[in-house]
Amino acid sequence: MEHIYTQEEIAKFNSKLSSSNQNGCILWNGSKMQNGYGEIFFYKRRRYAHRVCYEIHKGSIPKGMYICHKCDNRLCVNIEHLFLGTPTQNAHDMIQKNRHNWEAMIRGTREKIAKLKDYDVINVKKLLLAGISRRAIAKKYSVCKGTIDNVFYYKLTSKQRNIASQKWKDFYRPSPLTQDQVNKIRQMRKEGYKAKTIAEKFNVTSKCISAICLYKTWKELK
């Protein structure tokens, strides 16, 4: 349900804003979260300042969608610098702007993924990055979805970290597809093209094509 902000809430939000800098960014002067984003409390609930900014100016944010920064400044709340993006688009934006931290992405603990062998963890990661759903991967390896979630959130053991670190950059590649390409893939599949043929055309895996056509990924495009 869309939240309609009152004039008092908007005034509270605006009181935390700075004047724009040379890059056009309007910086958040209120409290900050540990990850560097601005935060604001409404009804005893902590909210991201840039998401509140988007909601004030453009309405509710669809479930599962991100609010990304064109300016790559986490404290910026200039609505002109914010845009709605899918998780995939957000990952692309992170890679293109070199904001990823490979070391942070592969930290973990042994006890939470002990059900998977070291080589299984690497293969699971590849499946995740190919667009296969966590639930499907969990079924394949006969583990619970929470175990796959731990891999998804980069909770690896020190041994697995050593195995992965040398090749991590090679297979950490979020889907390079655009929304138009995803629509084209689904259309080609409906027309009878094989997943392998489509995969070769778009330079992705057949599993990625299957996940797209089964709406396990890119669910927001109907």
Q: What percentage of the chain reaches a pLDDT higher than 70?
A: 74
In the chain, % of residues over pLDDT 90: 23
With vertex at residue 55, the alpha carbon angle to CA 51 and CA 56, rounded to the nearest 5 degrees, is: 115
pLDDT band at residue 120 using 50, 70 and 90 as cut-offs: confident
Residue 50 to residue 199: CA distance in whole angstroms: 37
User: Does 66 score more than 60 pLDDT?
Assistant: yes
With cut-offs at 50, 70 and 90, classify the pLDDT of residue 53. very high
pTM of the predicted protein model: 0.47
Q: What is the pLDDT of residue 121?
A: 76
Give the residue-averaged pLDDT of 148-163.
62
Please compute the mean of the pLDDT values over residues 86-90 and round it to a whole number. 77
- Structure tokens that stand for 194 in this block: 């094989």
How much is the average pLDDT of 206-215? 86
Higher per-residue pLDDT: 95 or 49: 49
Which of 72-81, 120-129, 207-216 is least confident? 120-129
User: Looking at the predicted structure, is the pLDDT value of residue 10 above 70?
Assistant: yes
The b-or-e profile of 155-184 (16+ CB within 10 A means b, else e) is bbbeebbebbeeebeeebebbebeeebbee
Which of the two residues, 71 and 54, has the higher pLDDT score?
A: 54
Which own/partner pairs from 39-47 qualify as long-range (CB within 8 Å, at least 24 positions apart)? 40/12, 40/13, 40/16, 42/9
The predicted-structure confidence for 156-194, as pLDDT tens digits, reads as follows: 556 555 555 544 444 434 456 788 888 999 999 999 999
**Mean pLDDT of all residues in 101-128:** 58
Among 37-51, 54-68, 139-153, which is the least confidently predicted range?
139-153
